[in-house]
Structure 1
């Protein structure tokens, strides 16, 4: 069984490709069941706006990789230039780096660790976690904690949520004069809303598929809530629109925004689409008086403070390399377990047969001392037969390797 990781992220693939492989939260259980029913014994899927990654234990890693393309109905030839596939060593290193914030758009950000923990919880509930992935992710969480506590990799980082406010401030004189609309009520919207609310905008509204959840979030910031069905009529009233839902199709179309711009008499609208797949049709960016940004567009803003964190990142990499070595050592010891079990089983059979023969001799009334002598000789001969026979038959480099191995195993010094 091979431990592998494969997928794509914001380093390897543009948003247009990433959104094709995104897994909505409600589909993750079914996807995990599909993967483990066919080509993997264990599986966990991490799907965020910046990455889709599959961690699995599989006898056929290539088949697991093909499953990803097949599940999303995207030709492998279209995906191949953007995908990476990692063996056990690189999969462990990658997981440790991702959880520590070293592979994020925002160097040192902490949100990804929570997202990985969520992915593991889903896999645990679905029953697709096993010995390998449990060990990998427990080590991953421990490494992330160590990196956070021993380095300053997360200091002075600018989150995507904070970057949203900075973008708005580049377009409008003051956030306090703005009306802000949030589409969705998930974790990302909550983070962005927190940053906007700190600037005390004139109005905050949450549009959500279910009104009750939208109201719960809106009330935290002194705002109101509407249903997504009301979006068409409500949109013209807002200067800032931030959206992040799990919809597989765009929620805000070009026609809807064109109408809103006309009703606003071409007063600018700032739109930030943090969803993957995107909530806002890409064509909206072509409209005058509309400033549309996606998760990839704000990369430059979140680079603020990156240089100051690079030295801490190098320290973190050193920690990670040491922990990768520990994890690989655990894997090697785990791989040796079947051989150890087989060796012990063979020794137990030899012991049992010799003991049975000795018991029969004692039952016949044979001298106990002679029986014990015979027993010890039989055990010695049977246990020594395999290594001595292998040495006698081996030649050349194989013989030298066997001599070295046996000397190490039995702590022998034949030259002495």
Structure 2
């Protein structure tokens, strides 16, 4: 297996950089096809508000994939200087990459540990690679197992209990700002999955009104109906902002939907108190200069890190058993992969030894010229098989345990050459 992961997350780069590196909309299938064609490999891309990661793989380990070339591709694709992004990117290979993907899918590497959305985002990345025809034997195995690990962690530990998603923590932050909601108007901009999750938690606050707006009127109406809110036409966004006390924006539009100049006009029409804006979209929906701490308090994804620290303290007791599950499944995945890859070679090796063992048995029986009893014949065949199994045990065990490095000679190659096995 030759697996390489190159990417960056909230741990290594600020939101401004993550926005520039996002593979959203039509960018994703184009990037997948180009990666696969240029590097002759399988390819998948995970692009969320908190991370951008590219996974490339080749089933054979003969030629190593180059992390610098993948990083250069990322810069080229987004038309950014290579030197501007390289220091913020990390690169992991093979076992380290497998472990990282399993931890990401299990929300152990999330901004909010235990959040439930990342598994769905990993699944979506896998499905995009499947749909584009860029997922092969390595990535199929990797992502299927990663999703299985995520399910184990979620069901066997308490790490996902309570409100731990970005959207639910955002609502918890609003709860800290306002002590009551009976007279508040909430406006949700964007009716995608993140918006729907946010609405689910907002209903528990029992605000006076919930307004939903989206470029797709049908989506806005569907979600507003589910939460008992009202759908607002997209062209009435400014009017809705005039009435809103709390704004949760989750569109994922490629450019900001609200500029500073446009928002100044909205503020001039407002007679209500401070507007709290939680911009949890990447790229951001609101110009960051809108924040003044008085009339408008604007917060983005990175501002949630403070709350993440509190959440981590509460969930620390579940991290250790979750990590143990990941470790177990990494070992199981690597063992299974080596078994799949080396199975044909091991089978050939056994067949060759059994063929020679049968020849030796036939020679011995011929020399005794029928003087051996049936019991003696069975004993002879069993003894030869036992000797062969003992001879093969060491080489086969070493082959099963080997973690080959790309571009390095391997035990597999040595055995094929020594015993003249076919590829």
Q: TM-score range by the shorter chain?
A: 0.7 to 0.9
Q: Does 1:153 align with 2:159?
A: yes
Residue aligning to 2:238: 232
1:5 equivalent in structure 2: 5
* Counterpart in the other structure of 2:371: none
Q: 1:61 aligns with which of 56, 66, 69?
A: 66
Aligned residues, how many?
Answer: 357
In structure 2, runs of 5+ residues without a counterpart are: 59-63, 357-365, 367-410
1:101·1:112 contact (CA, 8 Å) conserved in 2?
yes
Alignment check: 8 A CA contact 2:114 2:165 kept = no
Q: 1:166–1:319: structure 2 CA closer, same or farther, 3 Å change rule?
A: closer
Cα distance, 1:166–1:248 mapped onto 2, change above 3 Å:
same
Counterpart Cα distance in 1 of 2:292 and 2:227: 32
Equivalent position of 1:258 in the other structure: 264
* Higher alpha-carbon deviation: 54-63 or 138-147: 54-63
Q: CA deviation at 1:178?
A: 1.0
Shift, 1:337, TM fit: 6.2
Q: How does 1:9-408 map to 2 (within 5 A)?
A: 9-58=9-58, 59-62=64-67, 63-265=69-271, 267-286=273-292, 288-336=294-342
- Using the TM superposition, give the Cα deviation of residue 28 of structure 1 relative to its aligned residue in structure 2, in angstroms: 1.9
CA RMSD of aligned residues (A): 3.0
| Distance 1:334-1:3 versus aligned 2 partners, 3 A rule | farther
> Residue 116 of structure 2 contacts residue 165 of structure 2 at CA under 8 Å; is this kept in 1?
no
In 1, Cα distance between the equivalents of 2:175 and 2:325? 39
Bigger mean CA offset, 312-321 vs 170-179: 170-179
Deviates more, 1:189-198 or 1:62-71: 62-71
Alpha-carbon distance in 2 for matches of 1:44, 1:18: 17
Q: Deviations over 1:98-142 (max 9, x none)?
A: 111111111111210111111111111111111000111111122
After superposition, the Cα gap between the structure-2 partners of 1:222 and 1:57, relative to the gap in structure 1 and judged at 3 Å, is same
Aligned to 1:204, what secondary structure does the other structure show?
strand
Question: 2 CA distance for matches of 1:40 and 1:298?
Answer: 39
Task: Please give the TM-score of this superposition, normalised by the length of structure 2.
Answer: 0.77
Aligned 8 A contact 1:257 1:284 in 2: yes
Matches of 1:72 and 1:319, distance apart in 2: 37
Q: Distance in 1 between the 2:174 and 2:213 partners?
A: 19
Deviation at 1:343, TM superposition (A): 7.3
2:20 match: secondary structure: coil
CA deviations over 1:312-350 (Å, ceiling 9, x no partner) = 2111212222221222223434554686699799x7xx9
Contact 2:7–2:54 (CA under 8 A) maintained in structure 1: yes
Kindly indicate whether the alpha-carbon contact (under 8 Å) linking 1:45 and 1:54 is maintained by their aligned counterparts in 2: yes
* Native 8 Å contact 1:175 1:201 kept in 2: yes
Kept in 2, the 8 Å contact 1:107–1:157? The answer is no
Between structure 1 and structure 2, the one with the greater Rg is: 1
**Matches of 1:121 and 1:133, distance apart in 2:** 11
